[in-house]
A and B are shown apart, each in its own frame.
Chain A
Amino acid sequence: MLSVRDDRDREAFARLFDFFAPRLKGFVMRSGTSSGQAEEIVQDVMLTVWRKAGQFDPARAQVSAWIYQIARNRQIDMIRKEGRPMPEELQEDPETEADASQIVALEQEAGHLKTALNKLAPDQREVIEKAYMGELTHQEISSQTGLPLGTIKSRIRLGLERLRHELKDMR
């Protein structure tokens, strides 16, 4: 992803496409989208990944988290006239070098999340999938107790630490 961002490397983008396009298609089709429409979404999402690569920050997000957000925004745009309101981007100091230890820590947490997901019983896994595909209301999410919230909580702590660290550097 970094070669795509920094060098506009088409070979690297092609590899990203090979990994994510079939998974994106599977992800989008899980919520009942037809194969043809799913491919339109995959095309739009992958083009957005290329065009907005400059916004990707490995210290903030895993590639999959970033692509997930782009995919959900695209799906929302297709059903609603108003897109989803998004938070302001954090104004980061361009002089601040990404902290390698933060990137490693984020990767570890993401690894924990994937392990936790793969260990879930099929019915639990289905609840999580539905939640993150936007098929559960917030009331339904809050009544679910099976979400692997522990892993999410540790990521929140980690993310908060990093955000505070970054803002301190700016002052």
Chain B
Amino acid sequence: MNQIGHHMPDALLASYAAGNLPHPYALVVAAHISMCLTCRAGFEAHQAAGGAVLETSNAVAISGGLKSDVMALLDEPTVPAPRFERSGIYPGPVVEALRGKAPRWRSLGLGVKQSILSGGSEGSVRLLYIPPGQAVPDHGHNGLELTLVLQGSFSDETGHYGVGDLEVADQDLEHTPIADGGDPCICLAATDAPLRFTSLVPRILQPIFGI
């Protein structure tokens, strides 16, 4: 297993366990837990805390027929939900979001590509492909941005991020992630803001255009 140095903040794990994290972030959390034992243990601890809350909840009487209804339904045949396993660099939850297919990359210029997994009012989550040495194009985010490295690595003002590492960037962080040498860097990135990638004006052209 890789040495993962950048982990999921505890509040995000708790909120994920409680099921209250917006979908784009929840996908990144599920992918990170799939790669990181430390955060899996943290997730399981929050499940235990949720279980303790459940067990100590006030019991409310249930209707007489409910138990016999449930007992009668035990033998009903059911179709198990499909399970998605890891495929190459992509953890199971990402494979599920891709519906088992390969990512459909769209060019953003200068070799940078993205594949949007979902986008909507809750924010967006996408895969990013950044060639070695290339900067991530300007991608202003209004809120929290979570970036999980799946292949290669990148560095920015806050540090170095390798496979399995998670960068947590709030709106105050001005950062310019640059892919390191070696393999192209592939990340899973989620924000709660609408997509603001300016595909034809990547960061290095911005000084020229003065924006």
Contacts and interface: CB of A to CB of B under 8 A. Distances in A.
Given A13-B74, A39-B66, A27 B54 contact: yes
Interface residues of A, number: 83
Contacts of A29: 60
Interface string A157-170: 11110011001000
Contacts, number: 217
A46 B69 CA distance: 11
A10 B19 contact: no
Given A17-B67, A88-B92, A138-B11, A66 B34 contact: no
B173 interface: no
A152 B45 contact: yes
B100 interface: no
A159 B93 contact: no
Contacts of A113: 48-49, 52
B118 A22 contact: no
B194 to A, nearest CB: 18
B109 interface: no
Interface stretch (B25-33, B131-139, B148-156, B196-204): B25-33
A24 B54 contact: yes
Nearest to A164: B37
A35 B63 CA distance: 10
B41 A159 contact: yes
Interface string B46-70: 1111111111111111110011011
Contact of A26 (B1, B9, B57): B57
Given A72-B19, A87-B92, A160-B37, A64 B10 contact: no
Interface of B: 1, 9-12, 14-15, 17-21, 23, 25-27, 29-31, 33-34, 37-38, 40-63, 66-67, 69-71, 73-74, 78, 83, 85-86, 91-93, 96-97, 118
A23 B67 contact: no
Contacts of A167: 1, 37
The interface residues of chain B, by DSSP majority, are classed as helix
Interface in A123-138: 128-129, 131-138
B102 to A, nearest CB: 19
Interface string A135-163: 11111011000011101110111111001
B97 A117 contact: no
Interface of A: 10, 13-14, 17-18, 20-27, 29-30, 35, 38-39, 42-43, 46-47, 50-51, 60-69, 71-73, 75-76, 80, 82, 84-90, 106, 109-110, 113-114, 117-118, 128-129, 131-139, 141-142, 147-149, 151-153, 155-160, 163-164, 167
The 5 closest A-B pairs by CB, nearest first: A65-B51, A64-B51, A142-B11, A159-B41, A22-B59
A129 to B, nearest CB: 6
The interface residues of chain A, by DSSP majority, are classed as helix
A18 B19 CA distance: 26
A148 to B, nearest CB: 8
9 contacts: A22-B59, A68-B54, A87-B93, A88-B86, A109-B48, A132-B50, A155-B44, A159-B42, A167-B1
Nearest to A113: B52
A29 to B, nearest CB: 6
A65 B11 contact: no
Contact of A23 (B38, B57, B69): B57
B54 A71 contact: yes
A36 to B, nearest CB: 9
Given A87-B43, A88-B86, A138-B15, A82 B23 contact: yes
